[in-house]
Amino acid sequence: MSELTSRIEEYYATLRTKAEGRAERCLERALQNPSFSEVDRSYQKTRIAYLRAEAEYPERLEQLEQDFTAVRRKRAGLLQEMGLKESDLVPSYTCPRCRDTGFLENGSACSCYREALRRFKLEEIGIASEAFASFDDANKRLVPQINYDYYRVKYCGRFPKVPLSTVFMGSTGTGKTFLASCIAGELEKKGKNVYFLSAISLNRFFLQCFEKESYRSLSLLTDCDLLIIDDLGAEPVYKKVTVEYLKLILDERFSKKHPVLFTTNLNREKIFERYSERIYSRIFDEANLDENNLFQGEDLRTKKR
C-alpha cells in the first residue's frame, strides 16, 4: 500500500471513529437510564419483528407496524427527557453516501474519495487546496465583461477538447481568478482531476524539486486533466528553476494533450521579457492557443460575438 493510500485510509478511519464514537457515547449515556434501557430492548425486538414481517408473516405486518410506532414514540420521548434525539444515536457521517469509507456499495470510489485524494496529493507537494467556485455563484457576483456561459458551455462542455493553452489576461479585479476557479469547480463536478495553484506556490514547489533534485512529484502536475496556474508573474523568477521547470511542465503536458490555463496581470510583451522566448512561444504557440479563449479583461465584450 502506498503511503498516500494509507494516509487516506487513516483519514477515513478517523472520520468514522468520530461519527460512530459520538453515537455510541450518546447511546451509553441513554442506557444508564433503566426506563430507557427497558424500552430500548423492546424497541429493538419490535423493530426486528417488524422488518421481518413483510417477507415472513405479512398478515401481522399492520399490527407490528403499530407496535413499532408506539414503542418508537415512547423511546423518543424518553430520549427527549434526557436532552437527546433519535438521530444522536446513529452515526452522523461526514459523507452519508459512503458512510465515511470512501467507497460506495458497488465498490466504486465516492466523489469524496477523489476530493480527498486530490487534497492529500497537493499537501504532499506542500500546496494547501481550497474549494473551487461555482458557475452558479457567478450570476450573483456578476462581472459584466465576463461571458460565463461561454466558458461553462464552450470550455467545460468540450473539455478536454479545448486549446492546450488558455490565458486569462487583464488587470487585478477583472474576475480572472474567479472565472478560472469556476472552471475548476465545473470540471471537478464532472470527475476531472484539476490542480489549481498560484504561480507563487508553484515556484516554491519548483525550488523544492530543484534542491532535492527530485522530479518525482512533478508528475502530479504533468498528469492531471487540467493545470491552472493563477497569477503568473506574481512569483520571483529564478532563471535556472522557474523557467526550466515551467518549460518542462508545459512540454510534458502539451505532448500528452493536457491543457493548461493561466491567469496573469502581465501582457504578452511582459511575459516575453520575464520568461524568455522559450516559455512565451509555448504559451502563445498558434497551434496550442485559440484566440477565442483569450480573456483580456475589459476587452472581452468587444472580442466576443
Task: Please report how close the Cβ of residue 156 comes to Zn ion at its closest, in angstroms.
Answer: 23
Burial class (CB in 10 A: 0-12, 13-18, 19+), 197: buried
Shorter beta-carbon distance to Zn ion: residue 11 or 238: 11
- Cα–Cα distance measured from residue 34 to residue 89, given in angstroms and rounded to the nearest whole number: 17
12 vs 295, beta carbon nearer Zn ion? 12
Terminal Cα distance for the chain, rounded: 53
Residues in binding contact with Zn ion, number by CB under 5 A:
5
Strand partners, 226: 194
At residue 70, the 3 state secondary structure works out as helix
Residue showing cell 492546450: 164
DSSP state of 164: S
Q: Which is nearer to Zn ion, 99 or 176 (CB)?
A: 99
CA geometry: angle 54, 55, 58, nearest 5 deg? 50
Rank residues 97 and 304 by Cβ distance to Zn ion and give the closer one. 97
Q: Please state the closest distance from residue 85 (CB atom) to Zn ion, in A.
A: 24
Nearest to 14 by CA among 25, 4, 22: 22
256 binds Zn ion (CB under 5 A): no
Query: 173, 223 in Cβ contact below 8 A?
Result: no
Per-residue x/- track, 29-48, Zn ion (CB under 5 A)? --------------------
Minimum gap (Å) between residue 188 Cβ and Zn ion: 15
Taking alpha carbons only, the member of 158, 206, 175, 187 closest to residue 297 is: 175
Question: Is the CB of 109 or the CB of 209 nearer to Zn ion?
Answer: 109
Least distance in angstroms from the C-beta of 159 to Zn ion = 24
- Within 10 angstroms of residue 55's Cβ, the number of other Cβ atoms is 8
Q: Binding marks (x or -) toward Zn ion, 69..98, rule CB under 5 A?
A: --------------------------x-xx
**Binding letters toward Zn ion, positions 94-123, x by CB under 5 A:** -x-xx-----------x-x-----------
Please say which residue, 8 or 221, places its beta carbon nearer to Zn ion. Answer: 8
Using CB under 5 A as the criterion, which residues of the chain lie in contact with Zn ion when the complex forms?
A: 95, 97-98, 110, 112
